[in-house]
A and B are shown apart, each in its own frame.
Chain A
């Protein structure tokens, strides 16, 4: 529990398919600004980090997210999250 402060500051982000290509990274560790409470907040902040992010999230309604490998919605709180993934709508099966 003594690690809680350090853990909550940094977050692993992973990207898949065309979101990965547009961002230009498979994964990265970030420290979002204080007040980043939800997936939507995180996306808003990521879009300020460069053209690749802007392009990846240009249509926010399309990009899906998962928190610790469970599907999440824009309004889902990211408190305590270790890994957040962003990806296009799924096309498996």
Chain B
């Protein structure tokens, strides 16, 4: 099973992606999807601008996805990450994991998201509601901790 990775400016349709990933594979009994949306941070944000490293973004997410597929028995795995200007309420990232049983799909989606956050070369910059350009979003220690917990639990 080769994971599917897409880096794109355009939005995505979660239902259509699930259908495409699962169609024609009746061994699938579980599909877990995670979508990350842009928050407005209590009205403070007008948008997030996502900068990425073309080429490495695809390559790095593919490396993490391949690791995910080696760790859990999956029937399908997809990751989509958008770049460009994204407004509150709009989708930024999508991960879909499909497997025979739910545990593998849940864990694989969780793992892929944790590692994608700390390893995929994307950077968010805030555009503020008052029309000014805000700062670069700082990386969270929580995200590093979330990724590290997978090193302990098999």
Q: Which residues of A contact B (CB under 8 A)?
A: 14, 16-18, 66, 69-71, 85, 87-93
Whether B36 lies near A90 (C-beta < 8 A) is no
Instruction: Give the complex CA separation of A69 and B120 in angstroms.
Output: 11
Q: Per-residue 0/1 for B84-98: is the Cβ within 8 Å of any A Cβ (1 yes, 0 no)?
A: 000000001100000
For chain B, the bracket of interface size reads 20 to 34
Whether B139 lies near A91 (C-beta < 8 A) is yes
Q: List 24 A-B contacts (CB under 8 A).
A: A14-B53, A16-B121, A17-B125, A66-B53, A69-B56, A69-B59, A70-B56, A70-B59, A71-B119, A88-B139, A89-B138, A89-B139, A90-B118, A91-B117, A92-B50, A92-B116, A92-B120, A92-B124, A93-B36, A93-B81, A93-B93, A93-B117, A93-B120, A93-B143
Whether A91 lies near B123 (C-beta < 8 A) is yes
Whether A69 lies near B122 (C-beta < 8 A) is no
* B72 CB-CB contact with A under 8 Å: no
A-B contact count (CB 8 A): 73
Instruction: Give the complex CA separation of A35 and B21 in angstroms.
Output: 50
Question: Which residue of the partner chain B has the closest CB to A93?
Answer: B117
Question: Which residue of the partner chain B has the closest CB to A62?
Answer: B139
Whether A91 lies near B136 (C-beta < 8 A) is yes
Inside 8 A of B118's CB, which chain A residues have their CB? 89-90
Whether A90 lies near B123 (C-beta < 8 A) is yes
* B113 CB-CB contact with A under 8 Å: yes
Which of B117, B121, B125 has the most A CB atoms < 10 Å from its CB? Answer: B121
